[in-house]
Amino acid sequence: MKIHKDKKKRNLNLKFENKCAILKSIARNTIISKTIRWNSELKLTTLSSNVFKTRLVKRCFLTGRKQKINKRFNVSRLAFLKLARNGIIPGLKKSTH
């Protein structure tokens, strides 16, 4: 369930990323008149909160965990260990002492 919500948020972010950037740049531009800047701020506030990048959470795409994600493989440490033990990750061996 959480994986689907995360996917939906990511799609919304991709869809509105350019629009948000344009509205923010208009709002920050001091050369433009105050009314136009104010209108761009209003449009930004009317957008859904799920549109913004700060709402995104890195999740493991196998288990849905959000803690301790391996940056290279985008899986949680538990899923990573499971994949490594089964030999699914190429070029990775379990070290022995």
User: Which residue in 79, 84, 82, 86 sits closest to 95, CA to CA?
Assistant: 84
Query: What average pLDDT does range 57-83 have in this prediction?
Result: 88
**Per-residue pLDDT reduced to its tens digit, 17-64:** 999 999 999 999 999 999 999 999 999 999 888 888 888 888 888 888
Q: Which domains occur in the chain, in start order? A: 1-57 (1.10.287.1480), 58-97 (4.10.830.10)
Question: Can you give the pTM of this predicted structure?
Answer: 0.64
Contacts 24+ apart (CB under 8 A), 58-61: 59/2, 59/3, 59/6, 61/3
First to last CA, the chain: 40
> Over 60: is that where the pLDDT of 97 sits?
no
Q: Please give the Cα distance from 60 to 69 (Å, whole number).
A: 6
Q: How remote is the C-alpha of 85 from its chain's centroid? A: 29
Q: What is the pLDDT of residue 78?
A: 92
**Per-residue pLDDT reduced to its tens digit, 2-15:** 888 888 888 999 99
